[in-house]
Amino acid sequence: MKLYDGGKAPNPRRVRVFLAEKSIEVETVPVDMGQMGHKSDEVTALNPLQRLPVLVLDDGTVIAESVAICRYFEELHPEPPLMGTDARDKAIVEMWNRRMELHYLAAVAAAFRHTHPAMKEWEVPQLPEWGEANRPKALAFLEMLDRELADREFIAGDRYTIADITGMVAFDFMKPARIERPEHLTHVMRWHKAVAARPSAQA
């Protein structure tokens, strides 16, 4: 199988961290998104949405969307469990991962895509007002998360999961999105320090 990877972009990084946590090695095809490689004929033929990452299985099956790719590997390699164990736990992990995606990562990404000069050719139309509106949304979500993390170690409970991967990637992406780190949120900062110290964070 081959994994078409987009480098520093958040979603490709989510998959790389997930694979690193499970000690899974996959042949990688680097795609230079800075040179619009994700819009190439090769990538478009695999994923008409022109987004990365994309996993191509040995039988030719194509799986796009980062969480779908992670789900595939979770089913093949259930240990360590990153997407839950029993029905209750899986639902809680999914709930928190969806929250991290929809209310946090999406806000950070909107701030970056709609205000960063380098994204002008990517995000058409680029709406700076929308980007600016999403900066406080991201920080408001972290205010809520800080309260949640007051009595548990990780986002979805007492064990590291895909929700922590999504959260860490979003937190780190605040820097290029020009969103100030919330140093006053002690529980969030404690959590981020812990997850960023894991070897997988360097993937």
Residue 101: CATH number of its domain = 1.20.1050.10
For residue 2, is pLDDT > 90? Answer: yes
Q: Do 104 and 158 reside in the same domain of the chain?
A: yes
Q: What are the tokens at 16?
A: 């790389």
Q: In the chain, which ranges are E strands? A: 2-5, 27-30, 54-56, 62-64
Average pLDDT over residues 17-25: 98
Q: What is the pLDDT of residue 36?
A: 87
Q: Do 155 and 192 reside in the same domain of the chain?
A: yes
* Residue 58 located in a structural domain: yes
Chain-wide mean pLDDT for the chain?
96
Q: What is the pLDDT of residue 140?
A: 98
* Residue 82 located in a structural domain: no
Q: Do 59 and 18 reside in the same domain of the chain?
A: yes
For residue 158, is pLDDT > 90? Answer: yes
Average pLDDT over residues 67-83: 98
Average pLDDT over residues 42-59: 97
Q: Of 12-16, 121-125, 145-149, 154-158, which range is least confident?
A: 121-125
Q: In the chain, pLDDT over 70 holds for what percent of residues?
A: 100
Q: What is the pLDDT of residue 34?
A: 84
Q: How many CB atoms lie within 10 A of CB 200?
A: 17
Q: What is the pLDDT of residue 71?
A: 98
Q: What's the whole-model pTM score?
A: 0.96
Average pLDDT over residues 41-51: 96
Number of domains in the chain: 2
Per the DSSP assignment, residues forming a β-bridge with 62 are: 56
User: Distance between CA 38 and CA 33 in Å, rounded?
Assistant: 6
Confidence of residue 106 (pLDDT cuts 50, 70, 90): very high
Alpha-carbon distances of 96 from 84, 90, 163, 167, 203, rounded to whole Å? 11, 10, 6, 10, 22
Q: Do 68 and 145 reside in the same domain of the chain?
A: no
CA neighbours within 13 Å on the CB side: how many for 67? 16
